[in-house]
């Protein structure tokens, strides 16, 4: 049985004993363990059924804390850390020996993130070690954005879930590193491309490099619900799938003229941040209904719309 607690001290006790605890962050819930303890880290891969070639992000409480685990932080990346941390940003940096190979899948870089969720930060500052944590979903499934999501899928596999409410950002962190000396975005996430470029100017973008271990493990079918999911223009999708019991996920429009079985409107006020925060719960929702296919509107390619479209494209059924 997995215990859901709201007490940081209880989560800290399990972590101190080398156990795995699901923790809240502002992006999604993470499956955390002592990043310096290889046996504890191995339990994360086991609980998630995650392949060992997919490296984990290391969470620390401050930039000073990060310096214990990485070589020097190059200027443009330090500027991003100063601007957007704590927050939904992960920076890839040359690791020091203290970070075991199991965390980075043998890479010489480590992803470093300072989460802004108050419970995550409070927990990190109570511990004498950093926490490595992937999203707390079984490998390949949608990331969890509340404690119940974690419980529904990992009950019995981990001792404890620290409940920190609903995640305010709702999509994973933006991953940035250097590629041949150029600042490169490897995953769109909670800090938008516009925010990053406003700070340091134009950057390179390198997504979906699933065969390239240097780029974040963007394995093709990821974030996927169990029901078939199609992304695009809603009236067109509906006419193709009109014989199905269709569920709708849209930005703000209800498409009232089309006979959807159920609808999830992510932001009636047309706010991309609100839409991102509601996205993963909506994807999960339809798995527990009698809807037979999920039709999702393509989002505008601006701000958090990029991260939303990225997750949708990887959740989409290949035809």
The helix (run of H) or strand (run of E) holding residue 179 is: strand 174-179
Chain residues in the site for ligand TXA (CB under 6 A): 25, 27-28, 30, 54-57, 90, 92, 104, 107, 109-111, 113, 133-135, 172-173, 175, 216-217
- C-alpha–C-alpha distance, residues 172 and 161, integer Å: 19
Using rule CB under 5 A, residue 25 touches Mg ion: no
# binding residues, Mg ion (CB under 5 A):
1
Q: Looking at beta carbons only, is 74 or 213 nearer to Mg ion? A: 213
Q: Looking at beta carbons only, is 112 or 234 nearer to ligand TXA? A: 112
- C-alpha–C-alpha distance, residues 15 and 126, integer Å: 11
Q: Looking at beta carbons only, is 8 or 110 nearer to ligand TXA? A: 110
Which of Mg ion, ligand TXA, none sits in contact with 146, Cβ below 5 to 8 A by type? none
Which of Mg ion, ligand TXA, none sits in contact with 87, Cβ below 5 to 8 A by type? none
Window 131-170: contact mask with Mg ion (x via CB under 5 A): ----x-----------------------------------
For residue 13, give Cα distances in angstroms to 2, 120, 127, 133, 319.
15, 14, 9, 17, 47
Which of Mg ion, ligand TXA, none sits in contact with 193, Cβ below 5 to 8 A by type? none
Q: Angle formed by the axes of helices 305-315 and 272-285, to 10°? A: 20
- C-alpha–C-alpha distance, residues 274 and 38, integer Å: 38
- Shortest distance, position 207 Cβ to ligand TXA, whole Å: 11
- Shortest distance, position 261 Cβ to ligand TXA, whole Å: 31
Q: Are 186 and 90 in contact (CB under 8 A)?
A: no
For residue 29, give Cα distances in angstroms to 133, 153, 165, 253, 317.
9, 12, 10, 29, 25
Q: Looking at beta carbons only, is 163 or 172 nearer to ligand TXA? A: 172
Query: Residue 72: helix, strand or coil by DSSP?
Result: coil
Which of Mg ion, ligand TXA, none sits in contact with 217, Cβ below 5 to 8 A by type? ligand TXA
- Shortest distance, position 159 Cβ to ligand TXA, whole Å: 18
- Shortest distance, position 172 Cβ to Mg ion, whole Å: 6
User: Both tokens of residue 237?
Assistant: 């999708």
Torsion of CA 211, 72, 120, 54, to 10 degrees: 20
Residues binding Mg ion (CB under 5 A): 135
């Amino acid at each position: 049985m997995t215990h859901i607690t709201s007490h940081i001290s209880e989560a800290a006790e399990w972590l101190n004993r080398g156990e795995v605890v699901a923790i809240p962050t502002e992006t999604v819930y993470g499956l955390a363990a002592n990043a310096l303890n290889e046996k504890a880290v191995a339990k994360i891969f086991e609980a998630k059924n995650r392949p060992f070639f997919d490296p984990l992000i290391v969470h620390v409480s401050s930039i000073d804390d990060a310096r214990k685990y990485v070589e020097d932080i190059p200027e443009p990346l330090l500027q991003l850390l100063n601007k957007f941390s704590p927050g939904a940003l992960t920076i890839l940096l040359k690791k020091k020996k203290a970070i075991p190979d199991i965390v980075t899948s043998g890479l010489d870089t480590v992803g470093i993130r300072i989460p802004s969720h108050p419970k995550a930060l409070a927990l990190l500052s109570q511990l004498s070690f950093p926490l490595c944590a992937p999203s707390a979903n079984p490998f390949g499934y949608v990331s969890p954005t509340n404690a119940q999501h974690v419980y529904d899928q990992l009950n019995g596999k981990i001792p404890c879930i620290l409940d920190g409410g609903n995640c305010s950002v709702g999509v994973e962190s933006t991953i940035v590193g250097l590629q041949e000396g150029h600042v490169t975005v490897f995953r769109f996430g909670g800090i938008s491309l516009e925010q990053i470029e406003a700070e340091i100017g134009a950057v390179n973008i390198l997504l979906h490099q699933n065969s390239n271990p240097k780029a974040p493990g963007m394995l093709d079918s990821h974030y996927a619900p169990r029901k078939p999911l199609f992304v695009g223009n809603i009236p067109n999708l509906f006419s193709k799938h009109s014989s199905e019991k269709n569920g709708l996920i849209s930005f703000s429009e209800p498409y009232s003229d089309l006979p959807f079985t159920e609808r999830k409107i992510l932001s009636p006020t047309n706010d991309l941040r609100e839409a991102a925060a509601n996205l993963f719960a909506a994807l999960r929702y339809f798995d527990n209904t009698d809807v037979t296919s999920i039709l999702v509107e393509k989002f505008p390619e601006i701000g958090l719309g990029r991260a939303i479209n990225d997750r949708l494209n990887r959740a989409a059924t290949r035809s």
